[in-house]
Chain A
Amino acid sequence: MNEIALTSADRFDIRDWLRLEMFPHFLCPGCGHGLALRAFLWAVHELGIDRDALAVISGIGCAGRLSAYVDANTFHVTHGRPLAFATGLKLARPDLTVVVITGDGDGLAIGGNHLIHACRRNLDLTCLLLNNEVYGMTGGQVSPTTAAERYTTTTPAGNCEPGFDACKLAEGAGATFVGREATLQVPTLKNLIREAIAHKGFSFVEVISDCTEIFGRKNALGNSPEMVLRQKAGMRPDNWGNKVDRPFRPNPFPTGVFVRKTRPEYLELYEAMTAAARREERD
């Protein structure tokens, strides 16, 4: 029997997409990033993307570490720079599906600058920002998304800085697809990522993830199951229309797709502009 390409009709087996020789992986037991990775690979699988046509780029962090486990073209670049790197890669190889996996530290703190320009430029990239409210990899320091009053190793008396809403930032900076979902609902998250990858232009997905081992422990939020279930208390899906009862995070977050619009994609604009310039030269 001939080998057939995997299509969405095939059953998804995450092991087909992992570099099993890299295992055991280094994530802590129960880390939310594992669920995010699963949702991402499931989405890729359903879209029928060939692994050779997929580039996964990440910076440094526990979120950043995920690319190492994906059996595709992967790049582990310096802290905060995956979007800049991805921009270069996509311009050189527009045929590839380019996905950036970043964290709240990698993508909003040290690399925040690149995020706003990626949104503005609208190059056809997908950015998955795994927000666990903390710098997990370095041992649990406060991040730009840490909720007020949470304890971290650099805020031993509780965080006094306001956090910020990454989705609003992306929207404000011009991203043409913006959405948020929590690891509590992996199939919904998968669908969101799937739509983001299929979207033409820059797509931004914030994944509400959990740093169970460090953030969860420090704030007495329980183990992984408790943390994942508590996400629900902080969610406000549009279609539920209900109020948050006991927010998991002091600032409850809506989920779903917030922006879905069309705007000329950067590469198309660029090519049209160079073609016009050439025409002018000829004439």
Chain B
Amino acid sequence: MRAAFEGSQAIARAVVRCRPQVVAAYPITPQTHIVEGIAKLVADGEADCEVVSVESEFAAASVVLGAAAAGSRAYTATASQGVLLMAEVLYNIAGMRVPLVLTCANRAVSAPINIWNDHQDAMAVRDAGWIQLFCTDNQDAIDTTIQAFRITQDTELPVMVCVDGFILTHLFEPVDLPSQEQIDMFLPPYRFSRTLDPRRPLTLGTLVGPEHYTEVRAQLHGDLEASITEILKADADWADLVGRRAGGLIKLDGPHRAKIGILTLGSVYGTLQEAARELLPGTPLRLMALRCFRPFPAEALRRAVEGLADLIVLERAIGPGAGGILATEVRAALAGLRDAPRVHGAVAGLGGRDIPLGILSRLLRLAEAAEPVRCTVIDLRSAPPARPGGAK
């Protein structure tokens, strides 16, 4: 069914059609509309699940972990401070290998408090052991959410679907909402190989000493890397069913002969596409959106950048003291590659700062630098606020 929905409502509808049995969340802007939407669908009798209004994100993550471990399909959503507060449980969920889907309505992190979009929240938990998929538009958010429920139970790895706060969650745009029948064909009923059941007692998350802990962690790493197969398969099966892919591992746009590429995460991909089309129609550019950030698809990335002389990485997060987080990972993935492009790191759009179409020309200037640019913050205002304690 094609109709215009607010991004959050579209996600809420996609979630309930995946038939979760337990949803637990704590409100936080800009995620709240999603859970409010689910609560309304349940109240209207359009969905049959338990929505628990818990007392914090810490509780939300714990409730869905318990529900999923006991054999229910479970879902939660959060953002920003909520992701950080969940962090301890997020590690637990991945370590216990329990299937869960979480929507992260990406938002900046305090202090200073800021409710607008960037990717610092998801980046802060990138090593928690979750699959992290970034959406470029609301169709993508719907399709990826549905795929996430399948990926999580096929891999027994939790999946975080990252959706740009406000830019996507609060945007009204026409989307195709897959029917219940389509989703039922795609998504088998929930199953979990180690469901807690008194008839077959077992323990999840028990103490593991030095003699086994390394193996458990190495296995998580290996399984996360191997999950690329299921991520690709889910997207391919989805395309067979609805005639539309959600982007595999990396979305690509632009001619093969391009010498300059720009890689980014999330909705700014659309901005770059429009800028390239409107402002620089004759310039060959390869635009890329990394859909799958965890596992990091190094092989796919190496293929995607073939032939490029310069690769500009544009990201909405920063690792203070290290530079761009995505850029750093891209450099690591391309290290040792013959004819690898020069990688330039650019940070923009923090805390909701608009990324205008005009950014494209400023990004392209990086490719003219004599040496690769390690990390530059684009469109920085000339006078940053005074440092606390008096600037030294």
Contacts and interface: CB of A to CB of B under 8 A. Distances in A.
Given A80-B56, A142-B53, A156 B39 contact: yes
B27 interface: yes
A154 interface: yes
B51 interface: yes
Contact of A154 (B53, B56, B81): B53
A79 interface: yes
Contacts of A108: 55
Given A76-B113, A78-B81, A138-B27, A154 B51 contact: yes
Nearest to A108: B55
Contacts, number: 49
Interface string B100-122: 00000000001001000000000
A154 B113 contact: no
A155 to B, nearest CB: 7
Nearest to A159: B53
B36 interface: yes
Contact of A156 (B26, B28, B40, B55): B40
Interface in A142-193: 142, 144, 153-157, 161
Interface in B2-37: 26-29, 32, 35-36
A198 interface: no
Contacts of A157: 43
Interface string A125-148: 000000000010011011010000
A109 interface: yes
- Count class of interface residues, chain A: 20 to 34
Contacts of B85: 110
Contacts of A155: 39, 53
Contact of A109 (B36, B43, B51, B56): B56
B55 A154 contact: no
Nearest to B54: A109
A209 to B, nearest CB: 19
Contacts of A110: 26, 55-58, 85
Given A155-B39, A161-B53, 7 more contacts: A80-B56, A109-B55, A138-B27, A144-B55, A155-B53, A156-B39, A157-B43
A139 B43 CA distance: 18
A108 B56 CA distance: 10
A256 interface: no
A108 to B, nearest CB: 8
A62 interface: no
A79 B36 CA distance: 20
Contacts of A156: 39-40, 43-44
A266 B358 CA distance: 59
Interface string B307-333: 000000000000000000000000000
Nearest to A111: B56
A52 B191 CA distance: 61
19 contacts: A79-B81, A109-B26, A109-B55, A110-B26, A110-B55, A110-B57, A110-B58, A110-B85, A138-B27, A138-B29, A141-B27, A153-B39, A154-B39, A155-B39, A155-B53, A156-B40, A156-B43, A156-B44, A157-B43
B53 A138 contact: no
Contacts of B40: 156
A197 B53 CA distance: 34
A252 interface: no
A80 B57 CA distance: 12
Interface string A90-121: 00000000000000000011101000000000
A141 B81 contact: no
Contact of A138 (B32, B56, B58, B113): B32
B124 to A, nearest CB: 14
Nearest to B57: A110
B55 A139 contact: no
Given A109-B56, A112-B55, A154-B36, A78 B110 contact: yes
Q: Which 8 A-B pairs have the closest CB atoms?
A: A109-B55, A156-B43, A110-B56, A157-B43, A138-B27, A141-B27, A153-B36, A154-B53
A156 B51 CA distance: 11
Interface in A55-81: 60, 76, 78-80
A139 B110 CA distance: 20
A154 B29 contact: no
Nearest to A110: B56
A154 B28 contact: no
Most chain B CB within 10 A, of A79, A141, A154, A156, is at: A154
Given A156-B39, A156-B40, A161-B53, A135 B81 contact: no
Given A110-B56, A141-B27, A144-B55, A154 B35 contact: yes
A3 B172 CA distance: 59
Interface string B59-99: 00000000000000000000001000100000000000000
Contact of A60 (B44, B51, B56, B113): B113
